[in-house]
Amino acid sequence: MSEALKRTIPNHLCDNLDIVIVGISPGLFAAYKGHHYAGPGNRFWKCLYLAELTQEQMSADEDHKLLNHGIGFTNMVARATKGSADLTRKEIKEGSRILLEKRQRFRPKVAVFNGKLIFEVFSGKKEFHFGRQPDRVDGTDTYIWVMPSSSARCAQLPRAADKVPYYAALKKFRDFLNGLIPNIDESECVFTDQRIRQCSEQQQQHI
């Protein structure tokens, strides 16, 4: 895996995207494979499919094809790491600046932070809900959305089924922005503690 430390994963970005998924930095396995969220324990691709953000089950090898679905990828820091603790303050500060520039350049409808930690690092906020945030990306009309990490190491929500409600809500919000549904309620796209409990109970009922 030492070779993976030298590798980066290409951004998949273009104009007029609905969603851009933002990671903090590539994991070693993803860097080794050269594709986003390629780790064997990562739930990202399964969640996309189960939430119907893709019509078929896709894999990390097909990450570039998500552009055809209006979904792109980028990371705050391009360097592969074992974990976010390996990143320096300088890297994070510079990565945040570059990330903002990329979002101002491409202006997706929604910027989705894959994990609570990366949004804390980017925004400096400690208190916020999962789902749509009240602020937009500076200088754009891009909405900000925070997801639980798609990694299986996310102790609070380890299974794909635990994470799907967040992806399903994102799909509904995207469909609203694209005019496919007439309206959406605040409670459908902001996950308060009460809503998280309700989603958890619903998942348990379906298992």
Q: CA-CA distance, 170 to 63, in Å (whole number)?
A: 18
Q: CA-CA distance, 47 to 150, in Å (whole number)?
A: 8
pLDDT tens over the chain, length 207 residues: 455 456 678 899 999 999 999 998 888 888 888 899 998 888 999 999 999 999 999 999 999 999 999 999 999 988 887 767 778 888 888 988 999 999 899 999 999 999 998 899 889 898 999 999 999 999 999 999 999 988 876 656 767 788 999 999 999 999 999 999 999 999 999 998 755 555 444 443 333
Residue 137: how many other CB atoms lie within 10 Å = 18
Tens of pLDDT, residues 148-177: 988 876 656 767 788 999 999 999 999 999
Contact assessment for residue 59 and residue 83, using Cβ atoms and an 8 Å cutoff: no
Q: What is the CATH number of domain 4-206?
A: 3.40.470.10
Q: In sequence order, which residues have a C-beta less than 8 Å from that of residue 190 and are 6 or more positions away?
A: 129, 131, 132
Cα separation values, 38 from 31, 45, 148, Å = 8, 9, 17
Tens of pLDDT, residues 106-131: 999 999 999 998 899 889 898 999 99
The token duo for 137 is: 């990306």
Helix (H) or strand (E) holding 134: strand 130-136
